[in-house]
Amino acid sequence: MMMSRLRYADLSPEGFKHLRALSDYLTKSEFGESLLNLVYLRVSQINGCPYCVDLHWGDARASGEDMQKLNAVVVWRETPWFSERERAALNWAEVVTRLRDQRVSDEDYEYAKSQFTDKELVDLTLAVAQMNALNRITIAFHQTPVDEAPSRRPGSESHRSGRYLV
């Protein structure tokens, strides 16, 4: 197991203040906690961020998401447990995270537009971009799920305060 390198949020509190502000904005958006957690979880799975997968899986469970559904996020296309809106969000999260050939296809864009307003699609893209940035920070500095356990678990004060945001 890797050891953590730096306590990045403590070393750059001003930078993380702005990331927390975006997180607070997105939490208050029309998506709702459930959809955001699914998007954050899927982006973190794609990027291979163990800390963020653990955190957002736990957040989703704490907010009442079904365990079977959460376990199927990685194979969402092959399961019946996701609404059309959730499928569009997960698809958008994947194509924006992977950006094949530095583009998002018209088909993927139209699919997302069929489920989201223009503002919602911009906010969804902000959520995906934010999670990609946080995954990269967390991976670069080797933060693992055990680094903050159990105090950062969903429901704990340090977790809810957004201290490490991811």
Q: Which two tokens stand for residue 102?
A: 């530095």
Other CB atoms within 10 A of residue 139 CB: 18
pLDDT, tens digit, for every residue of 71-80? Answer: 999 999 999 9
CB contact at 8 A, 37 and 53: no
Answer with the residue of higher pLDDT: 16 or 129.
129
Percent of the chain having pLDDT more than 70?
Answer: 86
Residue type, 147: D
The structural domains of the chain, ordered by start, are 34-146 (1.20.1290.10)
Confidence (pTM): 0.85
